[in-house]
Chains A and B, each alone.
Chain A
Amino acid sequence: MELIVGFVTGILWGYIFQRARIVRFEKHAGLLTLTDLTVLKFLLSAVIVGAIGIQLFTTLGLAPYHLKPTHMAANLVGGIIYGLGWALLGYCPGTMGGAIGEGSFDALFGILGGLLGAMAYAHTYPFWKKTLLAVGNYGKIHLPALLHLPPLGVGVIFAALLLAFIVFLEKMGW
């Protein structure tokens, strides 16, 4: 049953991805060359809804967090390696499959590369565990705990800042 729920969620998500043009190489290359911010606008508006909603859920006890641990060095270096791959590939892990659904078959090779990348990571994980993953290891922390402020308040302020940023982008004609 859980598998079916996951599959249906994926289908809906893929439908949204295609309609909002997020699956296209041009949109990702456009974001990284700062010429077309469609992908950023999409992500930021999703986070505005997500941040308020998730903080509301956790505050009301409707659902718990599932925080990813903070490993300062690995988060940053991994993010940069991801960024290099993103620029070359022009798709991201979630939208890659959607690109194929729209007929961009070059994404198939991205998926094959991704599977090999996952295997390579599984076999080099012990090395990173001893090195990068041990640097700046703060566990599962989030901003409200760090700032000693109520999560819902921080969520609303963060969402408001993102909204202000979006309004600024639109005003600048981006």
Chain B
Amino acid sequence: MKNGWSPYLGGVLTGLLLLASVLVTYHWFGKPRYLGTSTAYVKVAGLIEKAISPETVAQNAYYQKKKPAIDWKVMLVLGVPLGAFWAALRNREFNPRWVPGVWRERFGDSPALRALGAFVGGFLLIYGARLAGGCPSGHGLSGMSQLAVSAFIVVAGFFIGGIPLALILYGRRR
């Protein structure tokens, strides 16, 4: 846990990254790219479905709205693991694990149970994000920075759903 950054430093750098991204993409490519990650899952999901059945994707209203393709957003999401891997290696913090500690204390060290929890959690996470129109990056960071009304409602929803369930699952310990 040593030699990490303060969350404030990380946050300020992320804010600057958002500003740089908006400025650079708008002036170079004509469209401002606000940081957001959950749309990338739709783009990749659409590509997978397209490989199986192109007609289904062509007739699907949502895939027509969010066209399946490797675009800026997908590349952004693909870049993250690489950057994190680089940071982890440089600081000798790459630790392979299949079950996080807090989960293990509560549900044991079965990787299968954790995989199931992560799978169901991931399903709800992206399903909810798409219904809401974004996740903590698209709504939380980019939306609140633009002072969008939608962002404030969605962020409230994240915590209304997340806090009670987390307290039931993991309990309150310091």
Provide the residues of chain B in CB contact with A142, threshold 8 Å: 146-149
- Residues 11-62 of A at the B interface (beta carbon under 8 Å): 11-26, 29, 32-35, 38-39, 41-51, 53-55, 57, 62
Which residues of A sit under 8 angstroms from B46, Cβ to Cβ?
118, 122
Say yes or no: A119-B88 contact (C-beta < 8 A), given A13-B14, A20-B9, A114-B122: no
Per-position 1/0 for B54-82, Cβ under 8 A of A: 00000011110000001111111111111
Interface readout for B133-174 with A: 1 if CB under 8 Å, 0 if not?
A: 111111111111111111111111111111101110111111
Report the tally of A-B residue pairs with Cβ distances under 8 A. Answer: 527
Contact mask for chain B residues 25-36; partner A; CB cutoff 8 A; 1 contact, 0 none? 111110111110
Q: Is residue A105 contacting chain B, with contact meaning CB distance below 8 A?
A: yes
- Give A90 to B6 CA distance when docked, in angstroms: 20
B11, B31, B87 interface centre (most CB from chain A within 10 Å): B11
Main secondary structure of the interface of A (DSSP, over half): helix
Q: Which residues of A contact B154 (CB under 8 A)?
A: 75-76, 78-79, 82
With contact pairs A6-B73, A83-B163, A115-B41 given, residues A92 and B126 touching in the complex (Cβ less than 8 Å)? no
Partner of A14 from B4, B8, B81, B156 at Cβ < 8 Å: B81
A143 located at the interface, meaning its Cβ lies under 8 Å from any Cβ of chain B in the complex: yes
| Given A16-B17, A86-B125, 19 further pairs, Cβ under 8 A | A2-B72, A3-B75, A11-B82, A15-B86, A17-B83, A18-B83, A53-B145, A66-B31, A81-B127, A82-B129, A87-B169, A88-B124, A93-B37, A93-B41, A103-B95, A114-B126, A119-B49, A120-B123, A123-B60
A–B complex contacts, Cβ < 8 Å, 18 sampled: A9-B79, A16-B13, A35-B173, A35-B174, A48-B12, A63-B32, A78-B128, A84-B124, A92-B135, A94-B80, A107-B118, A113-B119, A118-B41, A120-B127, A121-B127, A122-B42, A138-B149, A142-B146
8 smallest A-B Cβ distances: which pairs? A79-B157, A10-B79, A83-B161, A14-B83, A20-B10, A49-B15, A78-B132, A113-B122
Interface of A toward B, CB cutoff 8 Å: 1-26, 29, 32-35, 38-39, 41-51, 53-55, 57, 62-72, 74-123, 125-126, 128-129, 132, 138, 140-144, 146, 151, 154-155, 158, 166
